[in-house]
Structure 1
């Protein structure tokens, strides 16, 4: 019986930084190994809740707004998963699990690490400045401090002009 592979979780969202992190990870840990990569790959998209988008205030029209936002979030999640699978297929990485979990990305990723007993969590880096990172919060920073595994933060190189 073969040895069980370590789990690598990649957190992705609908932006170029996440897809770059996915491509970089595939190039460095999967493509050169064919099917013999030392990792089991789990791609995870944290779909925000409609309430986190519109806030807690309920008023006239909030039911319609809630439904419209939920529909849009589902479309975005489907697009993210489709693009992630296209990237994996283009790099001949077929043994991959893709999950969509509703919630705040910081908590969803850290909980997935626990649940899956992941040995590595990979996240992209937006490259926010200090003020924007402080106001918005940083998923990568949160995970680096709270995930119970190694966290690899993949930063997309700046293009030189």
Structure 2
């Protein structure tokens, strides 16, 4: 079985990873042919420009970041991604499960669905932030989008309260 787990900085994704390891990669299931676990993290693309508010610069429309600022932001984003995936891989290692990682840039909901098209997992596991119906309608929900658009079964792991 090929399983794709979406990980980000939120506690919901860490719960989703632990749920996957507890229920799909348990030690008693390892005697049978093992599945493949892929962890995907989607980075938000860095904006090279800012739109200052009218109080800051009333006549300016756009301010572009210098190349040193862009490089610094990319390095910080890369360090955060490595730290996040390192923590997720450590959880897998503690449970004696090998995992591979996939890093994408873009909108998380679209990139997760694109990864589904590329690697053809049998299951996608995503966490839940626990948004209310009202907030989910306005902010959008990655888990909701993936559940409706991914071309494979999707499990939304929601921690008990």
TM-score normalised by the shorter chain: which range applies? 0.7 to 0.9
Within 5 Å, which residues of 2 pair with 1:3-18? 6-18=1-13
* Match 2:81 to one of 68, 72, 77: 77
* Match 1:141 to one of 140, 144, 148: 144
Q: By how many angstroms is 1:144 displaced?
A: 0.6
* Match 1:59 to one of 59, 63, 67: 63
CA contact (8 A) 2:49 2:62 kept: no
Q: By how many angstroms is 1:61 displaced?
A: 3.8
CA contact (8 A) 2:46 2:74 kept: yes
Within 5 Å, which residues of 2 pair with 1:20-99? 20-32=15-27, 33-34=29-30, 36=32, 38-51=34-47, 58-61=62-65, 63-94=67-98, 96-99=99-102
Q: By how many angstroms is 1:128 displaced?
A: 0.8
Distance 1:133 1:62, change over 3 A: farther
Which has the greater radius of gyration?
2
Structure 2 unaligned blocks of 5 or more: 52-60
CA contact (8 A) 2:39 2:102 kept: yes
For 1:50, what is the secondary structure of its paired residue?
coil
Distance 2:12 2:48 in 1: 22
Distance 2:48 2:10 in 1: 19
| Residue 119 of structure 1 pairs with residue 122 of structure 2 | yes
CA contact (8 A) 1:48 1:104 kept: yes
Size of the alignment, in residue pairs?
151
Query: Cα deviation per residue 1:21-71 (whole Å; 9 max; x = unaligned)?
Result: 10011010002323635521111111111129967x741545454333322
Distance 2:129 2:45 in 1: 21
